[in-house]
Amino acid sequence: MSIPVLYEDEWVCIVDKPEKMQTHSTSIDKMTHNLVDTLKDQMNERYYPVHRLDRGTSGILMLAKNKQHVSSLQNALQNLPHKKKYVAIVRGQTGKSGIIVREMEDAYSNKIQFSKSTYLRLEKLEAKIPNRPHPTTFFSFVELEPLTGRTHQLRRHMAKISRPIVGDMEYGDFNLNKFFRAELDDLHLYLHAETLSFWHPYLKEQMLLSAPVPNYFNAFKEYCLHHP
């Protein structure tokens, strides 16, 4: 599998991470082919992740071309002007826009941390799905922006407001996920890192990059159109 490169200079490489691919190997799973190793094979160069995306999440991922550049680039994504925006399909109808603020337990340290995200509804969807509480099930195509960077933040936030992301096997609607796995011949996590804006610490300019929304988002919308 070839990794699409969205931008590259002498300090940074920004790619469009495919879904269902780990960012890098872990102590638990060293065998599964991951993005860092795949990119090394593809580019004949070692890259160092500046941040992470969950295995199921697709979209924009930044990597440093030198280990010494990681901290400067991480600082750009934490303390300098930046925006990360995602798109997702969630179960249920959201409001037009909203802010989600939660105290969340960190998955690794168990510490309670403040977290904040925003959402903007882009499109309403609905489909007839058997064995559901109502004849029609509503969905929302939304833009999400994490204003803090907690583990699984967007997935947990949407689940907390009873609008779980379709395809989320940890925080989502398991019966609905099972249905779409059968109907669409596969199950995707409908969460995609679409745009990244950040201050480049070496070029000293604001950068804006985007990654195209995967085709399976359109396939989901088509399913809704044909099962009103």
Out of 27-31, 175-179, 224-228, which region has the weakest mean confidence (pLDDT)?
27-31
Return the DSSP state at 68. G
Q: How confident is the model at residue 106 (pLDDT cuts 50, 70, 90)?
A: confident
User: Using CA atoms, how far apart are residues 56 and 69, in angstroms rounded to an integer?
Assistant: 27
Return the DSSP state at 40. H
The domain tally of the chain equals 1
User: Dihedral of the CA atoms 197, 201, 205, 210 (nearest 10)?
Assistant: -30
**β pairing state of 5-8 and 97-105:** unpaired
pTM value surpassing 0.85: yes
Q: How confident is the model at residue 24 (pLDDT cuts 50, 70, 90)?
A: confident
Contacts of residue 26, defined as CB under 8 A and 6 or more positions apart, other chains included, come to: none
Q: What is the mean pLDDT of residues 71-82?
A: 90
Per-residue pLDDT tens over the stretch 198-216? 999 999 999 999 999 999 9
CATH classification of the domain holding 60: 3.30.2350.10
Amino acid at site 200: H
User: Using CA atoms, how far apart are residues 58 and 16, in angstroms rounded to an integer?
Assistant: 7
Which active-site residues does the annotation give?
A: 54
Q: Show the domain range for 88.
A: 5-226
| pLDDT at residue 27 tops 70 | no
- CA distances (Å), origin 73, targets 14, 45, 89, 189: 12, 18, 30, 27
Six-digit token string for 53: 């995306």
User: Dihedral of the CA atoms 157, 213, 178, 90 (nearest 10)?
Assistant: 30
Per-residue pLDDT tens over the stretch 36-65? 999 999 999 999 999 999 999 999 999 999
- CA distances (Å), origin 182, targets 12, 34, 141, 177, 191: 40, 27, 21, 9, 19
User: Using CA atoms, how far apart are residues 1 and 13, in angstroms rounded to an integer?
Assistant: 17
User: Using CA atoms, how far apart are residues 198 and 83, in angstroms rounded to an integer?
Assistant: 7
User: Using CA atoms, how far apart are residues 139 and 153, in angstroms rounded to an integer?
Assistant: 20
